[in-house]
Amino acid sequence: MLDFFLDLILPRRCVHCRRILPAGALCAGCRAAVMAHATLFCGRCRARLPLGPSLPDGRGLFRVRSPCHPHHPYVLGAAHDYQGPVKSLICALKFDLVRDAGAELGAMLKEYVEVLGGFPADVLAVPVPLSSRRLRERGFNQAEIIARAFTTDVSPSVLRRVRNTKPQSTLGAREERLRNVADCFEAGADVAGQNVILIDDVVTSGATLQAAALALKHGGAKAILALAGAKA
């Protein structure tokens, strides 16, 4: 009943074009305008990577290696570019606290992975954690909302932030961002010997994903596929 009256007073709108919606965060027109990628990327330089031979249950995704930066701790999967309706979804989730935007991003990420070969079996799906201070301010972790719309099997407790950091968006060069998040993550024992899907909303410099992936590697993770709703 409360939702009914709230929809009358403050009707739900598309986060991009502001058209009134019956449900969700993006109208059909804006959703149709979203262009998805169909490849993986080098986590360091963003070069497109060939997928290689297909294997059952998406296991081939963890055999992809970057020929240009083979020692980078993760291979990147970015469903879209950070522009248009996708940018509006991410901003609505992070800054306007529109949780339906996270559900939309998770569904789009799932479609992207299905194009790549399907969700791998026997992996840990780990959202990039927020600091305790940022979690109190926002009330939720946007990466976890996306992850839970992407798969029901999420492991949010195996990676944690051990110190607060400045928001990456307030910093400039990649080196400054790397210093800001260096050693700010710690992985639990559950990651040892596991393939991991590391999930975040958007990747810009890649510094946060790199720090998280290094912590997972230090904890004994095998291969890491970092999935983001968009890359800037």
Q: Is residue 122 predicted with pLDDT exceeding 80?
A: yes
Buried b / exposed e along 193-227 (16+ C-beta atoms within 10 A): ebbbbbbbbbbbbbbbbbbbbbbbbebebebbbbb
- Which one is predicted more confidently, 47 or 10? 47
Cα 189 from Cα 220, distance rounded (Å)? 8
Spatial neighbors of 139 by CB under 8 A, at least 6 apart, are 97
> With bands split at pLDDT 50, 70 and 90, how would you rate the model's confidence at 134?
confident
- H-helix segments, the chain: 2-9, 28-32, 84-95, 99-116, 132-138, 142-150, 174-181, 207-218
Taking all residues of the chain, what is their mean pLDDT, rounded to a whole number?
91
pLDDT of residue 174: 84
Q: Give residue 15's pLDDT.
A: 97
pLDDT band of residue 40 (cuts 50, 70, 90) is very high
The pLDDT confidence band at residue 2, using thresholds 50, 70 and 90, is: low
Instruction: Provide the whole-model pTM.
Output: 0.90
Residue 212: predicted pLDDT: 97
Query: Over the stretch 195-214, which tens digit does the pLDDT of each residue have?
Result: 999 999 999 999 999 999 99
pLDDT exceeds cutoff 80 at 5:
no
Q: What is the pLDDT at residue 179?
A: 86
Residue listed under structure tokens 């710690």: 186
Structure tokens at 226: 């970092």
Q: Is the pLDDT of residue 64 over 80?
A: yes
The pLDDT tens digits for 164-175 are 877 777 777 888
Cα distance between residue 88 and residue 179, in whole Å: 29
